Structure 1
Amino acid sequence: MKIKEKTISADLQKFIDKFEPTKYKTLGRGIEIRGINDIHRSISMAKVLIEKLKLNLTVNHTAEMVGYGGFEVNNVV
């Protein structure tokens, strides 16, 4: 069985460098940011940063993620 290595795109790396999340988990299509206290403010800030830097990323959030204060930032496919 081959183990697929997760890579971070240039846009995603720029986002990580500017947003500076304290905790994140690398996913196949992006990252999941965790441990956010003010989730709504952080999601808004992430969207503004993505738009400002013209990155090919999207922000995804589900009600389930509220439990651990998280949201995803994914590459646009």
Structure 2
Amino acid sequence: MKTQAVVLSLIFFAVVVLLQASTKAQGIRKWTNIPYATLSDAQKLDIYTSDNDDVKFPVIVYIHGGPSFNSKENINTVFGFLDKHLKK
């Protein structure tokens, strides 16, 4: 339980800090390879947000199964599914 609190605190801190250094491309703000723990170099996350601050969007948390299941570079499959099924 204590470990989860530390991890969540680190994630929150990383997001707040990295909001200052976002990169914009095609209407998307992107922060990559943000460490959420210090047990290994593999414990990193990416955050993608819209650069349109006037519109509210749902939050989607996608956790892939690691390198044995697929790489994060193939996440377009997930985004395609979400785009198809989350349309209003």
Q: TM-score range by the shorter chain?
A: under 0.3
Could you state the TM-score of these two structures normalised by the residue count of structure 2? Answer: 0.26
Which fold has the larger relative contact order, with Cα–Cα distance below 8 Å and residues 6 or more apart in sequence?
A: 1
Q: Which has the larger radius of gyration?
A: 2
